[in-house]
């Protein structure tokens, strides 16, 4: 992948150089950083979408402040590891990157944020919806998704009051995002008149849910809520039926995919998921993007990859808006920008949080993800 992209970059540079014989102008290579756990399928899809955005931008022969430029993706694998994340953030700061698309996990995103802020380097996360990312008012931090706190408040009110799911069993994976989401959801359930009948954490790497599910069988909750990684949500969903639990399940994260459906296809329980977006398959331009992605990479584009695509285009749009590659000017432009992306209308408040975010509550029905309710924060 990287060698092919370098070949294309050299080819483009050669074309520009040939033109430069007459104009005495050489194109400037402009790097955009990308960071995430590249071994994970969702991050790979996001990285590929970022590459596609870069390639499309370069086809238009872009110029910034009169200078011909070629955009290039500078990618780094943070392995979702806090120590590696901080090292990579410092690497991007010392690079020539005009901004960073990353990180993919909320924990890594929050850890990297103060490093980028101190250096004045724009950070747009394509997948983190942790409220903690923008809560500290870092000028360089931008969240393209609505926050977990806002989305879970809407979901809790609907499920407790409208669906009358009053007795809630709460599990998390012990990680930063999982625990904070479980805290938010628990508080919102109580505010809506529900009851938390059990609360516990599991090891973030386990696939053994026997102990909590045995407890759930004794308590018989109306709803089990789990905030954790996709692979654990899949294991939990598949084990509900084995314990003969009638409880409904609410999960979070990048689970609204065909791949998740294949793993949970034999489950008879009602499985729901809260997602920080409107149904992306209904968005104008999404079908065309999926087609271009499949032609370029010979595989299906996963839904959250569209946010990575928009993040790259946001950084490029900010550079064009300010007609500069200066990092501080790009940050200022991002605070002012109003951009109509594949994922929706994008603009930010003073803290870098997305204005007027939307959320969708999905349910699995006949082995398909079906939107139950779409919420928009005014």
Domain membership flag for residue 220: yes
Residue 10 has pLDDT above 60, yes or no: no
Are 6 and 125 members of one domain? yes
Quick one: average pLDDT of 305-327? 98
pLDDT over 70, % of the chain:
93
Q: How would residue 12 be classed by pLDDT, with cut points 50, 70 and 90?
A: low
> Under DSSP, is residue 50 helix (H, G, I), strand (E, B) or coil?
helix
Which region among 122-126, 151-155, 183-187, 225-229 has the lowest average model confidence (pLDDT)?
A: 225-229
Domain membership flag for residue 352: no
Pairing of strands 141-143, 122-125: parallel
Are 134 and 163 members of one domain? no
Residue 281 has pLDDT above 50, yes or no: yes
Rounded mean pLDDT of the chain?
Answer: 92
pLDDT at 11: 58
Are 269 and 139 members of one domain? no
Give residue 7's domain range: 2-145+281-347
pLDDT at 21: 43
Residue 17 has pLDDT above 70, yes or no: no
pLDDT at 280: 87
Do 230 and 253 touch, CB atoms closer than 8 A?
yes
Are 259 and 213 members of one domain? yes
Domain membership flag for residue 354: no
> Which burial class, exposed, middle or buried, applies to 111 when counting CB atoms under 10 A from its CB (0-12, 13-18, 19+)?
buried
Are 363 and 341 members of one domain? no
Domain membership flag for residue 353: no
What are the φ and ψ backbone dihedral angles of 90, each rounded to 5 degrees?
A: -70, -30
Domain membership flag for residue 313: yes
Domain membership flag for residue 62: yes
Question: Which of 32, 2, 41 has its CA nearest to residue 309?
Answer: 32
Tokens of 305: 């990859």
Contacts for 116 with CB less than 8 Å, ≥ 6 apart = 89, 92, 93, 100, 122, 123, 138, 140, 141
Tokens of 196: 């938390």
Do 89 and 116 touch, CB atoms closer than 8 A?
yes
Are 174 and 26 members of one domain? no
Supply the CATH number for residue 168's domain: 3.40.50.2300
| Integer Cα distance of 319 and 330 in angstroms | 6
Are 233 and 367 members of one domain? yes
Higher pLDDT, residue 40 or 165: 165
Residue 73 has pLDDT above 50, yes or no: yes
Q: How would residue 375 be classed by pLDDT, with cut points 50, 70 and 90?
A: very high
Do 134 and 352 touch, CB atoms closer than 8 A?
yes
Q: How would residue 22 be classed by pLDDT, with cut points 50, 70 and 90?
A: very low
Quick one: average pLDDT of 191-211? 94
Do 242 and 209 touch, CB atoms closer than 8 A?
no
Are 198 and 106 members of one domain? no
Quick one: average pLDDT of 78-106? 96
pLDDT at 24: 56
Domain membership flag for residue 130: yes
Are 34 and 126 members of one domain? yes
Do 367 and 360 touch, CB atoms closer than 8 A?
no
Length of the chain: 378
The predicted-structure confidence for 112-150, as pLDDT tens digits, reads as follows 999 999 999 999 999 999 999 999 999 999 999 999 999
Question: Which of 319, 314, 374, 371 has its CA nearest to residue 348?
Answer: 314
pLDDT at 2: 52
| Integer Cα distance of 107 and 132 in angstroms | 9
Question: Which of 57, 63, 52 has its CA nearest to residue 16?
Answer: 63
Contacts for 211 with CB less than 8 Å, ≥ 6 apart = none
Higher pLDDT, residue 27 or 269: 27
Domain membership flag for residue 324: yes
Are 131 and 178 members of one domain? no
Are 247 and 98 members of one domain? no
pLDDT at 167: 98
Are 212 and 288 members of one domain? no
Residue 19 has pLDDT above 90, yes or no: no
pLDDT at 8: 58
Higher pLDDT, residue 203 or 229: 203
Residue 5 has pLDDT above 80, yes or no: no
Sheet strand arrangement including 122-125? 63-64, 67-77, 28-36, 99-101, 122-125, 141-143
What domain count does the chain have?
Answer: 2
| Integer Cα distance of 324 and 107 in angstroms | 31
**E strands within 88-165?**
99-101, 122-125, 141-143
């Amino acid at each position: 992948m990287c060698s092919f992209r370098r070949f294309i970059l050299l080819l483009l540079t050669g074309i520009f150089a040939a033109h430069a014989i007459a104009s005495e102008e050489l194109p400037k290579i402009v790097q955009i950083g990308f960071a995430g756990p590249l071994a994970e399928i969702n991050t790979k899809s996001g990285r590929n979408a970022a590459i596609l955005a870069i390639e499309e931008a370069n086809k238009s022969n872009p110029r910034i402040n009169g200078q011909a430029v070629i955009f290039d993706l500078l990618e780094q694998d943070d392995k979702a590891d806090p120590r590696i994340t901080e090292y990579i953030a410092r690497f991007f700061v010392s690079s020539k990157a005009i901004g960073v698309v990353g990180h993919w996990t909320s924990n890594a995103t929050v850890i990297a944020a103060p490093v980028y802020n101190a250096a004045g380097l724009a950070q747009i996360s394509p997948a983190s919806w942790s409220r903690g990312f923008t809560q500290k008012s870092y000028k360089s931090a931008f969240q393209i998704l609505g926050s977990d706190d806002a989305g879970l408040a809407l979901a809790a009110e609907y499920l407790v009051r409208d669906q009358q799911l009053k007795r809630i069993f709460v599990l998390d994976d012990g990680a930063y995002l999982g625990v904070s989401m479980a805290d938010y959801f628990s508080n919102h359930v109580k505010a809506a008149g529900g009851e938390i009948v059990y609360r516990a954490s599991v090891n973030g790497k386990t696939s053994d849910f026997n102990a909590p599910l045995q407890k759930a069988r004794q308590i018989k909750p109306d709803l089990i809520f789990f905030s954790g990684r996709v692979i654990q949500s899949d294991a939990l969903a598949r084990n509900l039926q084995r314990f003969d639990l009638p409880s409904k399940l609410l999960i979070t994260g990048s689970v609204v995919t065909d791949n998740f459906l294949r793993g949970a296809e034999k489950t008879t329980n009602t499985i729901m998921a809260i997602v920080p977006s409107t149904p992306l398959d209904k968005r104008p331009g999404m079908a065309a993007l999926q087609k271009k992605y499949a032609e370029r990479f010979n595989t299906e584009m996963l839904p959250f990859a569209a946010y990575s695509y928009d993040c790259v285009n946001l950084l490029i749009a900010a550079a064009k808006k300010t007609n500069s590659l200066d990092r501080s000017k790009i940050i200022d432009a991002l605070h002012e920008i109003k951009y109509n992306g594949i994922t929706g209308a994008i603009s930010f408040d003073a803290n870098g949080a997305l204005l007027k975010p939307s959320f969708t509550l999905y349910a699995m029905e006949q082995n398909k993800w079906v939107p139950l309710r779409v919420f928009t924060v005014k």
